[in-house]
Structure 1
Amino acid sequence: MIQGIFGSEGQLFFELDLITNDGLNLPVDAMLDTGFTGFLAINKQDLDSLDWIYIGKERLRTAQGETKFSTYSGKILLDEQEYQIPVYAGDEITEILLGSKWLKILPLVANYQAGLLTLG
């Protein structure tokens, strides 16, 4: 189980490690976005140092409408477990996003009043 933090506007942030193709772990804070139905979304510029394998393009619906995203096979470390997942990359993504697909395999507890935020 990993502890998260609440952002100043109620956002849910969790720390995870992006694992480069060379096996280097890069710790980052990712925001949970329940409107995003994938596992992970990242800005294209952040991909350069990861050297993840390109899979192709995929159309996804966002708040701004339908957009084409590049898809990569990425590896992350979350809650002390490695996951090989599809990662969506786009120029318009400003935060590293955890999507709602995680909620199908990991329980989320968010209690603002108690200051409790956990995933896993």
Structure 2
Amino acid sequence: MISGEFNHKGELVFEIALVAADETDWPVQVILDTGFNDWLLINNEDAVNLDWLQKQKPRKAHTAAGTVFFTVYKGIVLMDGEEFIIPVLGGDEINNILLGVRWLQLKRLVADYSAGILTLD
């Protein structure tokens, strides 16, 4: 189980680690975005710095900002001591790393804002 916190905007924030190609762990804070239907969204520059391989041709997606093409990487995420190899979407205009709702297929989300409890189990 990993504990998270609600930030000043009320967003669901967790700390995970991204694993670089050289097996170095990079702890990062991520926002769980229930409107994002994939696994992970990251800035392309960060994915390149992690030396993650491009998995396939860019993927077209419809966002609130319109139609966008995302680069797809093969990424490794370390969460609660367990490694996950997942497809990661990358974009040039990404400011925050986002976890998507696909994680809820594997993890149970407990979010009780009034009690200050936020976990992924």
- Fold equivalence (TM over 0.5): yes
After superposition, where does 1:1-120 map in structure 2 within 5 Å?
A: 1-55=1-55, 56-120=57-121
Query: CA separation in 1, counterparts of 2:62 and 2:104?
Result: 19
Equivalent pairs counted in the alignment come to 120
TM-score, scaled relative to structure 2: 0.96
CA distance in structure 1 between the aligned counterparts of 2:31 and 2:53, rounded to whole angstroms: 23
What is the rounded CA distance, in whole Å, between the counterparts of 1:15 and 1:110 in structure 2?
Answer: 15
Off by >2 Å, runs of 4+ in structure 1: none
Report the AA paired with residue 16 of structure 2.
Answer: L
Q: State the identity %.
A: 46
CA distance in 2 between counterparts of 1:49 and 1:75 reads 13
1:75-102 CA distances to partner (integer Å, 9 max, x unpaired)?
0101211000000000121100000100
**TM-score, L = length of structure 1:** 0.97
User: Unpaired segments of 5 or more residues in structure 2?
Assistant: none
Amino acid at match of 1:49: N
| Superposed displacement of residue 48, structure 1 | 2.7
Whole-angstrom distance in 1 between the partners of 2:20 and 2:9? 31
SS at 2:78 equivalent: strand
Give the secondary structure class of the aligned counterpart of 1:48: helix
Once residues 65 and 104 of structure 1 are traced to their aligned partners in structure 2, the CA distance between those partners, rounded to angstroms, is 27
Q: Which runs of 5+ in 1 are unaligned?
A: none
Q: C-alpha offsets along residues 43-65 of structure 1, whole Å, 9 cap, x if unaligned?
A: 11212320011012101121112
